[in-house]
Amino acid sequence: MNSITEAFAQALGLVATADPKLVDIVLLSLKISLSAVVLGCLIGLPVGAAVAVNEFRGKRLLTVTLNALMGLPSVVVGLVVYLLLSRAGPLGALGILFTPPAMVIAQTILITPTIAALSRQMVADAWQEYREQLRSLGETRLGAGTTLLWDLRFSLVTIVLAGFGRAASEVGAVMIVGGNIDGVTRVMTTSIALETSKGDLPLALGLGIILLSIVLALNAGAYVVKETAQRRYG
Amino acid sequence: MTGDVDMRAPLSLLPLCLDEVRFEVGSRRIIQGISIKLEAGLRTVILGPNGAGKSVLLRLCHGLLVPTSGTVRWYSPELPGAPRRQAMVFQRPVLLRRTVLQNVTYALKLAGMRRAWREQCALEALARVGLESLADHAARVLSGGEQQRLALARVWALRPEVLFLDEPTASLDPGATHEIERIITALHEAGTKIVLVTHNLGQAHRLADEILFLHQGELAERASADRFFKHPTSPEAASFLEGELPW
């Protein structure tokens, strides 16, 4: 019990003094996961909206596939990206294995289906309500998708957060394609895994506290934005 | 915009001809072979009990539904991709999570109006329905009556040749209903062909020049409003009028 309290106290100390090593790790984590979220949204939101408002062969299959891919295991993504980027792989020439860009790619692949599947559901529900009016006004399918995404902007925040949460909390993919190299590809989750196995509980706990706080703060911020906006715009 | 004769103006959409139009969902026959011709000018009210197929007929005319068989033909049809020359107001207005003004300018953008003109045109339309003071308010938090007036302002700004209305006052109180009917009348006077669906006899009485009475997916009777209310010729219409009286 004592060692836990002690570790906790030390962890808080590391956080409070903004230990440089800790700060670097946190910043790298944020940089990678936020990049993945931005890319994931750029791909996932249009895909979700397009699937929602268009009728085509294989729509159901695609919907089911997107939904299933939400449960994609991160280690599998890591393995696939590893194979693609490794020296002998098809993208080996890029030479980005064990670098942050590789980690961004892996996390993007991991969260894009989540963003696409959730936004598809949300846009499809709204499409039911708006379809006749938008068609009556002469809106095209492409325009309808964009209009609906914009109309749902406050609700979509939740989806973006879900994507960020998944990216920031996963360890398998970044561990495999990043290699957990100190000062280069070491992020919060891989550090926690490593430090825990080494027995350096204070650093692991400190990182854990920060990870939780970031996720909590983002969610709280998004909640406030959403509530305020919904009260204002209905 | 006003007074000038636009030589490029397209030919009129009207008359609208429906020829043996049927509409089925699975084995349910909702519209059973309706042939009508709708001319410009007159306010046409489609009347009938619930489930008669009124709303479906309106959607078939407006192009939101495609008939199972038969044809819906405009005299000079809209070109695909070109701005629409007909509009529709629904029972429950569908408004975007934007301001009142932006809901109108959005429609104007789809109608191909230049950005510089949109706001002015939208404000004029809002003034027509008495919403100009709410232009910067969020559209979705307006009252039911105000939302429907906004839907009509959107129509006003578009100046459609034909306006379809699907029970636009079904969920409104008498005051709001009166206001909506006033706007519909003003639209009619400005030259828009009105095609209104209702099961409210009072409303049909106030607004109709001619009545199309629908019963179980068939056109049971078509007559001028005067004649319809005084001497309905079909037994269905007669019993509908009797059941609904007094208004």
Instruction: Kindly state whether B85 is in contact with chain A, defined as any CB-CB distance less than 8 angstroms.
Output: no
| pLDDT over threshold 50, residue B1 | no
Alpha-carbon gap: B59 to the closest alpha carbon of chain A (Å):
9
pLDDT tier for residue B10 given thresholds of 50, 70 and 90: low
State how far the alpha carbon of B173 is from the alpha carbons of A150, B46, B78, B93, B146, in Å.
32, 21, 36, 15, 12
Per-residue pLDDT tens over the stretch A93-112: 999 999 999 999 999 999 99
Q: Cβ separation of B110 and A143 shorter than 8 Å?
A: yes
Per-residue pLDDT tens over the stretch B48-66: 999 899 999 999 999 999 9
The CB-based long-range contact list for A66-70 (8 Å cut-off, 24+ gap) reads: A66/A113, A66/A116, A66/A117, A66/A120, A67/A117, A69/A113, A69/A114, A69/A117, A70/A113, A70/A114, A70/A117, A70/A118
pLDDT of A233: 84
* DSSP letters spanning chain B: --S---TTPPPP-PSEEEEEEEEEETTEEEEEEEEEEE-SSS-EEEE--TTSSHHHHHHHHHTSS--SEEEEEESSPPPTTSPPSEEEE-SS----SSBHHHHHHHHHHHTT--HHHHHHHHHHHHHHTT-GGGTTSBGGGS-HHHHHHHHHHHHHHH--SEEEEESTTTT--HHHHHHHHHHHHHHHHTTPEEEEEES-HHHHHHH-SEEEEEETTEEEEEEEHHHHHH---SHHHHHHHHHH---
User: What is the side-by-side strand order in the sheet with B86-89?
Assistant: B86-89, B162-166, B193-198, B44-47, B210-215, B218-224
pLDDT, average across residues B157-177: 95
Of B81, B90, B140, the CB nearest to A133: B90
Looking at the DSSP assignment, which residues form a beta bridge with residue B18?
B36, B72
Of B97, B107, B140, the CB nearest to A137: B107
% of chain B with per-residue pLDDT over 70: 94
Per-residue pLDDT tens over the stretch A159-216: 999 999 999 999 999 999 999 999 999 999 999 999 999 998 888 888 899 989 988 9
Bridge-based pairing state of the strands B44-47 and B210-215: parallel
User: Of A166, A171, A154, A31, whose CA–CA distance to A112 is shortest?
Assistant: A166
pLDDT, average across residues A9-24: 87
Looking at the DSSP assignment, which residues form a beta bridge with residue A43?
none
Rounded to two decimals, what is the model's pTM?
0.89
Exposure on the CB side of residue A38, measured as CA atoms within 13 A: 7
Q: Rounded CA gap, A75 and A189, in Å?
A: 13
pLDDT of B3: 45
Question: Cα A4 vs. chain centroid, distance in angstroms?
Answer: 31
Per-residue pLDDT tens over the stretch A46-64: 999 999 999 999 999 999 9
Instruction: Kindly state whether B140 is in contact with chain A, defined as any CB-CB distance less than 8 angstroms.
Output: yes
pLDDT of A5: 87
Q: Which residue of B has its CA nearest to A230?
A: B97
Q: Rounded CA gap, B56 and B53, in Å?
A: 5
User: Of B192, B184, B175, B197, whose CA–CA distance to B153 is shortest?
Assistant: B184
pLDDT tier for residue B247 given thresholds of 50, 70 and 90: very low
% of chain A with per-residue pLDDT over 90: 77
- What mean pLDDT value characterizes chain A? 93
Question: Cα B21 vs. chain centroid, distance in angstroms?
Answer: 19
Q: Rounded CA gap, B196 and B153, in Å?
A: 17
Of B83, B106, B141, the CB nearest to A234: B141
Q: Rounded CA gap, A207 and A187, in Å?
A: 9
Q: What is the ipTM, given to two decimal places?
A: 0.90
* Residues of B with Cβ-Cβ distance to A129 under 8 angstroms: 94
pLDDT, average across residues B172-194: 96
pLDDT of B100: 97
| Residue where the block lists tokens 């049809």 | B77
Per-residue pLDDT tens over the stretch B13-53: 999 999 999 999 999 999 999 999 999 999 999 999 998 99
Pick the residue with more confidence: B171 or B167?
B167
Per-residue pLDDT tens over the stretch B63-121: 999 999 999 999 999 888 788 999 999 999 999 999 999 999 999 999 999 999 999 99
pLDDT of B2: 45
* Phi/psi of residue B23, nearest 5 degrees: -140, 125
pLDDT of A16: 87
Q: Rounded CA gap, B198 and A145, in Å?
A: 32
pLDDT tier for residue A14 given thresholds of 50, 70 and 90: confident
Q: Cβ separation of A147 and B111 shorter than 8 Å?
A: no
Q: Cβ separation of A132 and B88 shorter than 8 Å?
A: yes
> What residue ranges define each of the domains in chain A, with the CATH number in brackets?
23-233 (1.10.3720.10)
* Residues of B with Cβ-Cβ distance to A154 under 8 angstroms: 97
pLDDT of B8: 54
pLDDT of A234: 79
Per-residue pLDDT tens over the stretch B121-151: 999 999 999 999 999 999 999 999 999 999 9
Q: Tell me the residue type at A62.
A: L
